[in-house]
Amino acid sequence: MADPAVIEDAPRDFIRDTIRADLDAGRVQSLVTRFPPEPNGYLHIGHAKSICLNFGVAQEFGGRCHLRFDDTNPAKEEQEFIDAIEADVRWLGFDWGAHLYHASDNFEQLYAWAEHLIEQGHAYVDDLSAEEMREYRGTLTEPGRDSPYRDRTPDKNLELFRAMRAGDFPDGSRVLRAKIDMASGNINLRDPVLYRILRAHHPRTGGTWSIYPTYDFAHGQSDAIEGVTHSLCTLEFEAHRPLYDWLIEHLPVPAQPHQYEFSRLAISHTVLSKRRLTQLVQDGHVDGWDDPRMPTLSGLRRRGVPAAAIRDFISRLSIGKTEGVVEMAQLDSAIRDHLNTHADRRMAVLRPLKVVITNYPEGQTEELDAVNNPNDPDAGNRIVPFGRELYIERDDFMEDPPRKFFRLGPRREVRLRFAYFVTCTDFVKDDNGEVVELHCTYDPETKGGNAPDGRKVKGTIHWVSAAHAVPAEIRLYEQLFSIENPAGADDFIGELNPHSREVLTDCLVEPSLAARNAADTVQFERTGYFCPDPDSTSDRLVFNRTISLRDSWAKVKGRGR
Ligand code: ATP
Ligand code: MG
């Protein structure tokens, strides 16, 4: 039994309530759940809801959660996807231990159970074409009609089904169907297909099989074989539950699992469907499944979103039966909350403007002490080098600034973060009239950023030392779609945001960034959160913007877009 003290604090929802009641009443001895991805694409943040729920309840109630590949459609499934899914679930922080399964592990058993249904008169081989089957199926308002092949004898059905397995018939020419009720109000019970003929290389069983079970036939039976007690899935499977139960009831399965459905996660300004995400990748609208703009777990990881921030976001969602769209701003805010507490600070200049400190001795450098994270005393300090020539952000200087511009302008004084007060004395323009260099003087008495005479400055700006800074490319990302509900658009590709990526190639970052643990996301002071991209080389760093410092959505809305 789980510790009751832990359960007191645990989240409450109808699924957890059901599990608790089943355990308390002794209907279930020990909780077993599973996360059942189909390996036909990469996992997205919608899947994270299912992963966190399935693995989460297993942890909370002292049970276990399996990872099961629902690999029943070799036409679309690939080893690349299997590997990526395992890596993503692990990255999200969950472990299935020894419990890695595949629906294909059960193909032989499922086949035997299909023969059992045939022998009992509960399944038959149908020769109708796909088109004819659709016509016979009826509609939501009209009952279906029995197939002319429905009354074949069990012996004839067995003979045909074995011939299907032996590869005697072309793909798609026959199917095995459950014999339930063509007049049922639930279309899923109108003699659903259990097996189809398909010659495709399967990532695990290779060319062994020329028939494959459908999701409906494989899923509940795999649950039963693995001893899954609570089979948690999304609402679109609600209408499949009677079929799930019918199969469990009519087969000699070793356990009696139950299915429970909760609402899927949908997020504004993106799409969460493998079909649409596949299209984005295949048609080259993004640079692969792990493009930082993708809502995939691998994309979020590459963008620098920590797994813990995703878990935080998911834990704030309700587990219920109401379909709704969660604002992207909610995910952003979970990411910001997490990084604000955990990310080290660094200095990086995105659009550099040269500064010469004219009263600073030529050739001299200093090592200044800089705090890593004001929100985390354990994060310690680092050294940043300072010298006569620096770079600051172009935006931090104005030739003719308004009064409230608390940065640099002629004769204005600011604090250089961790360093000195400096005053702008002059500036140099190029032939186009663009300011290309500032001349400043520094006050040696203000080392560390405070004046002994109590003099105040309103602005603090970041900088890097010209002699020590490391060149970098910085990639800025915005939302992938311009509209709130691209999934609902007639042509979702047409709603892609043309400005979703901006690449800055002349950035300069403080030298400590060259030596860091490549996986970590840091805050570039005053600019946002960034993480190194795997495209980085030894002489060229590449960073992705994980997220800006402030909520840019409010601003976007204000502009009435
Ligand atoms: P998609 O619709 O994106 O193609 P899927 O449901 O076909 O996804 P599966 O690989 O079958 O993808 O999903 C594995 C599990 O994840 C299923 O139990 C499914 O219910 C769940 N899941 C998929 N998408 C979401 C989502 N958006 N929110 C919550 N759970 C999801
Ligand atoms: Mg699916």
Averaged over successive runs of 10 residues, the pLDDT of the chain (561 residues) comes to: 47 93 97 97 98 98 98 93 98 98 98 98 98 96 97 98 98 98 97 97 95 98 98 97 98 98 97 97 98 98 98 95 93 97 97 98 96 93 97 97 95 97 98 97 96 94 97 97 95 97 97 77 97 88 95 52 32
Element (DSSP H or E) covering residue 47? helix 45-60
Say whether both 11 and 149 belong to one domain: yes
Tell me which residue has tokens 């009435």.
560
pLDDT at 11: 73
For a mutational test of ligand 1's pocket, the pick from 89, 234, 310, 317, i.e. the residue with the most ligand atoms closer than 8 A to its C-beta, is: 234
> In 65-153, which residue ranges form alpha helices assigned H by DSSP?
79-91, 107-119, 130-137
| Atom of ligand 1 at shortest range from CA of 39 | 10
Say whether both 433 and 488 belong to one domain: no
Say whether both 393 and 530 belong to one domain: no
Expressed in angstroms and rounded, the spacing between residue 46 Cα and the centre of ligand 1 is: 7
In a domain, residue 467? The reply is: no
Say whether both 446 and 480 belong to one domain: no
In a domain, residue 269? The reply is: no
In a domain, residue 116? The reply is: yes
Establish whether 12 is a catalytic residue: no
Considering 150, 199, 204, 264, which one is annotated as catalytic? 264
pLDDT at 459: 94
Expressed in angstroms and rounded, the spacing between residue 210 Cα and the centre of ligand 1 is: 27
pLDDT at 558: 44
For the CA of 41, the nearest ligand: 1
- This prediction's pTM: 0.94
Domain final residue, candidates 262, 297, 316: 262
CA distances 260 to 240, 256, 257, Å, are 11, 13, 10
CA nearest ligand 1 atom 10, residue: 37
Say whether both 431 and 491 belong to one domain: no
CA nearest ligand 1 atom 26, residue: 46
| DSSP strand pairing (352-357 vs 389-393) | antiparallel
| Atom of ligand 1 at shortest range from CA of 275 | 4
Domain final residue, candidates 262, 284, 305: 262
Tell me which residue has tokens 């009677």.
242
Expressed in angstroms and rounded, the spacing between residue 352 Cα and the centre of ligand 1 is: 45
Q: From CA 146, how far away is CA 95, in angstroms rounded?
A: 47
CA nearest ligand 1 atom 3, residue: 273
Residue 478 sits in a domain whose CATH number is 2.40.240.10
Tally of domains in the chain:
3
Expressed in angstroms and rounded, the spacing between residue 236 Cα and the centre of ligand 2 is: 10
Establish whether 150 is a catalytic residue: no
CA nearest ligand 1 atom 2, residue: 273
CA nearest ligand 1 atom 31, residue: 47
- HSE of 86 in the Cβ direction (CA atoms, 13 Å)? 14
Considering 16, 174, 274, 293, which one is annotated as catalytic? 274
Provide the token pair at 76. 């679309």
For a mutational test of ligand 1's pocket, the pick from 38, 47, 53, i.e. the residue with the most ligand atoms closer than 8 A to its C-beta, is: 47
Say whether both 425 and 501 belong to one domain: no
- Whether 418 and 370 have beta carbons less than 8 Å apart is answered as yes
Say whether both 205 and 160 belong to one domain: yes
Say whether both 458 and 497 belong to one domain: no
CA nearest ligand 1 atom 18, residue: 233
Domain final residue, candidates 421, 436, 462: 462
Nearest to 464 by CA among 501, 424, 514, 503: 514
pLDDT at 552: 62
Say whether both 508 and 530 belong to one domain: yes
In a domain, residue 121? The reply is: yes
In a domain, residue 550? The reply is: yes
Expressed in angstroms and rounded, the spacing between residue 85 Cα and the centre of ligand 1 is: 12
CA distances 199 to 74, 196, 205, 208, Å, are 9, 10, 12, 9
Domain of residue 329 covers 274-339+472-556
Say whether both 200 and 128 belong to one domain: yes
Residue 165 sits in a domain whose CATH number is 3.40.50.620
Ligand 1 pocket (Cβ < 6 Å) reads 36-38, 46-47, 49-50, 70, 233-234, 264-265, 272-275
Say whether both 284 and 380 belong to one domain: no
Nearest to 338 by CA among 376, 368, 378: 376
Establish whether 478 is a catalytic residue: no
In a domain, residue 267? The reply is: no
pLDDT at 258: 98
For the CA of 48, the nearest ligand: 1
In a domain, residue 278? The reply is: yes
Say whether both 179 and 248 belong to one domain: yes
Expressed in angstroms and rounded, the spacing between residue 264 Cα and the centre of ligand 1 is: 8
pLDDT at 297: 98
pLDDT at 4: 42
In a domain, residue 46? The reply is: yes
E strands within 37-182? 64-69, 100-102, 123-126, 175-178
